[in-house]
Amino acid sequence: MRNIALFLTYLGTRYHGWQVQKNLPTVAETVEKAAAQVVGHSVHVTGCGRTDAGVHARCYVANFRTDSTIPVDRLPYALNTHLPCDIVVTKAFEVNENFNAIGSCVRKEYTYQIYNSRLKDPFYVDRAWFYPRHLDEAVMQAAADQFVGTHDFAAVRSVGTDVKSTVRTVYYYNVERRGNLVILKVCANGFLYNMARAMAGTVVYAAEGKIKPSDIGAILDSGNRTAAGPTVPAGGLYMTHLWYDDGIDKFECGCADTFQSE
């Protein structure tokens, strides 16, 4: 059996996240059905993370096993003929037999988009969080800086999948304004359930003056979810970069920085 890795990009608006769910459309189920049609047998596709309903991926990595001999360079074209237009496979290649799209991933980057304008833009519906009051990106960056490092992130997670530890390492958290868009990019060795969205909500809380950036360390130490900011809407969140290294296969999956600006 060959172990095939896929690079994908998708809009998550019509899907209830990546993970297969009973009677609900998901990205994984859609990809599995397309792959089965191409390779001629049922497949299980392992994804690099359980993105929530409505969350997008400018890059995403998945893997599946097959005894099909179809050349990997033909797989993206074959799969895309069976996929809807909001899911696209951009690359396929063979990886070692123990490679796992989630277990072999050592770093992930998420990007959150806020459309910060007094007037809505219909082209950002389900693509960015509309926020009409002006946000001070300097205050937001000061708040974001407090998350960098190794911390217990229980205060910015939602109750969901059980994990052995809520300690994670954040490598960077950058805030940038591009016209009416405020872009938040965060990279970590792993993310808890809703962690990226709760961190973004906490950074916005600081910009609103509800907390000081310097309060965030104490909030993390407390582990108190109610002390941190809200979980912001899913439509503004994108998976944007992945790093892999399992001792055999080492590569990155990243997207061109094509976020729109005014």
Catalytic residue positions, numbered: 52
CA gap 141, 143 in Å, rounded: 5
Instruction: Tell me the two tokens of residue 69.
Output: 């001999």
Task: Name, in order, each residue with C-beta under 8 angstroms of 90's C-beta and a sequence gap of 6 or more.
Answer: 7, 8, 9, 76
Give exposure, 105-130, as e/b (b: 16+ Cβ within 10 Å). Answer: bebbbbbbbbbbbeeeeeebeebbbb
SS3 state at 145: helix
CB-based contacts of 91, cutoff 8 Å, min separation 6: 6, 7, 76
Is the four-CA dihedral 191, 55, 105, 255 of positive or negative sign? negative
Task: With beta carbons less than 8 A apart as the criterion, state whether 73 and 92 touch.
Answer: yes
**Residue with structure tokens 């896929």?**
6
**Strands 56-66 vs 46-47: parallel, antiparallel or unpaired:** antiparallel
Query: Hey, is 192 helix, strand or coil?
Result: coil
Contact 13, 54 (CB under 8 A): yes
Provide the token pair at 40. Answer: 């001629």
